[in-house]
Structure 1
């Protein structure tokens, strides 16, 4: 009997928490007045497609110049099971006026961002490159 009461309580809590979250993003009809100014109000463009077979895509643009897009699809199962690969990007204007744009891919090998504002390491010195080549040609036992 007590497990039935717990099950019913859990179901009621689950149903109560399944409301729409449009008011938090500023994308819904009612809107969240606090976010409308900060995030640019309702989007100028919004698309969200889930094909039901694991493939999806979404994109949005706001009146303030924020934009994002992503598409993904399932990939055959690997050693860790099935995976979803995704590619996308986003852009926005930083407070200092710089336009920030980033594109990325995400797959079984991780998240791979690219963008002109992402710091890059200095080039590897010739001495280290020679050492790495020597180590490759003469593996230790």
Structure 2
């Protein structure tokens, strides 16, 4: 449940910091369903094109997405899951690590192809 609260807070921050007059934005869609077994889902949309949805089970698992238009005009879309493996966001706007250089890949392949015997030091 904390994940959904954080996302809602982040989206509210984005909505308030958006360049232009967002003070007149209204909620155009809102659905919220909480079941006795702890599962839930919600979805909402606003007149300034913020869309979000999430479903999950208590504090065990959550999956969802949100999208909005950034102040620079870029369409931001993010999908995520949160479970025992942590929070895992996916989006084209997120930074990615550089590719591993060829010489490192060749060195790793060599090490894997030529295992060494472990040396036991005596006291």
Q: Does 1:133 align with 2:109?
A: yes
Q: Report the TM-score, using the length of structure 2 for normalisation.
A: 0.69
1:47 and 1:40, CA in 2 relative to 1: closer, same or farther beyond 3 A?
farther
Runs of 5+ unmatched residues, structure 1:
1-24, 26-34, 75-82
* 4+ aligned runs moved over 6 Å, structure 1: none
Q: Report the TM-score, using the length of structure 1 for normalisation.
A: 0.61
Partner of 1:48: 32
**What's the C-alpha RMSD, in Å, of the aligned pairs?**
2.4
Partner of 2:53: 69
**Contact kept in structure 1, 2:22 and 2:48, CA below 8 Å:** no
- Residue 57 (structure 1) aligned to one of 32, 36, 41: 41
Q: Secondary structure at the match of 1:122?
A: coil
The higher-RCO structure (CA 8 Å, 6+ apart) is 2
| In 2: Cα distance, 1:39 partner to 1:51 partner | 33
Q: C-alpha displacement at 1:136, in angstroms?
A: 4.3
Cα displacement string for residues 108-139 of structure 1 (whole angstroms, at most 9, x for unaligned residues): 01111111111111111111112233444537
Greater helix percent: which structure? 1
> How many correspondences in the alignment?
99
**Contact kept in structure 1, 2:40 and 2:55, CA below 8 Å:** yes
**Contact kept in structure 2, 1:94 and 1:100, CA below 8 Å:** yes
Q: Does 1:124 align with 2:100?
A: yes
Runs of 5+ unmatched residues, structure 2:
1-8, 10-15, 119-123
Q: Does 1:89 align with 2:65?
A: yes
